[in-house]
Amino acid sequence: MATIAVIDYGMGNLHSVARALNHVAPRAQVTVTQDPQVILGADRVVFPGQGAMRDCMSELQRHDLIDVISTAARTRPFLGLCLGPQALLTHSEENGGVAGLNILPGRSLWFGHHLRSAALANQHLKIPHMGWNRVHQTRPHPLWTSIAQDSRFYFVHSYYLLPDEPTLTAGLTDYGFEFTSVMAKDNVFAVQFHPEKSAAAGLQLLANFSCWHP
């Protein structure tokens, strides 16, 4: 039986993610866990999260999960969700500046820097970026299978992804300006949105992940 580990470090709606995975992959064993042996023994790993980056990194350190995540991201299909992609980057502006896991080179930046100028154009966009928005697929990927171009997904975030390497971008979203909402490299796929809250398109992405063999 295939196994999927959802990393539990005390942040995020983990059980909603697990229920969605159980729905799309009923033959898989989905486990919400912080046990390093279970995580590294799983066929696939999901790294979700909600909240602030400083708390995220503190909890990962407290649970001795930093090396575990780095190893999992190198060795098996790995899916980052919401706060997960931001933590995969090198650095975040949040909380005065927080070092990330540096698995993917880049930074997460506050929307306000750009939205001040967008507001002058009478767009009046709010922070956090919350609700449904389109994702434009910038290149083919197995996790985009059966998902229409410019499908809508559900977002809740105040910081956006800025990878150092343009080739890391697999999806773009517009919120006053165009930003990277999906990153992909080798066996890692990371999305800023919540697929478990994104209706049919989100469930299709999770289903694609459940049978992805990078």
Q: Which residues face 162 on adjacent strands?
A: 107
What per-residue confidence (pLDDT) applies to 125? Answer: 80
Residue whose pair of structure tokens reads 């992405």 in the numeric block: 205
Beta carbons within 8 Å of 69's beta carbon, 6+ residues apart:
7, 45, 47, 60, 101, 103
Per-residue pLDDT at 204 exceeds 70: yes
- Per the CB < 8 A criterion, the answer to whether 156 and 198 are in contact is no
Whether 124 is catalytic:
no
- Per the CB < 8 A criterion, the answer to whether 54 and 94 are in contact is yes
Lowest mean pLDDT: which of 116-120, 136-140, 161-165? 116-120
Whether 59 is catalytic:
no
DSSP assignments along 121-184, one per residue: TT----SSEEEEEEEEE-S--GGGTT--TTEEEEEEESEEEEESSGGGEEEEEESSSEEEEEEE
Q: How confident is the model at residue 123 (pLDDT cuts 50, 70, 90)?
A: low
Which residue is catalytic, options 56, 82, 91, 157? 82
Q: Report the alpha-carbon distance of residue 156 to residue 83 in Å, rounded.
A: 10
User: Which amino acid makes up residue 84?
Assistant: G
Between 127 and 88, name the one with better pLDDT.
Answer: 88
- Per the CB < 8 A criterion, the answer to whether 11 and 59 are in contact is yes
Helix axes 66-75, 53-62, angle to 10 degrees: 90
Per-residue pLDDT at 14 exceeds 90: no
Per-residue pLDDT at 122 exceeds 50: no
Q: What is the pTM of this model?
A: 0.95
Which residue is catalytic, options 63, 136, 196, 213? 196
* Mean pLDDT calculated for residue range 122-128: 75
Helix axes 199-210, 14-24, angle to 10 degrees: 70
Whether 211 is catalytic:
no
Radius of gyration of the chain (CA): 16
Structural domain boundaries of the chain? 3-210
Q: Report the alpha-carbon distance of residue 204 to residue 147 in Å, rounded.
A: 7
- Per the CB < 8 A criterion, the answer to whether 17 and 196 are in contact is yes
Which residue is catalytic, options 91, 129, 157, 194? 194
Q: Which CATH superfamily is domain 3-210 in?
A: Class I glutamine amidotransferase (GATase) domain (3.40.50.880)
Residue range 179-194, pLDDT digits in tens = 999 999 999 999 999 9
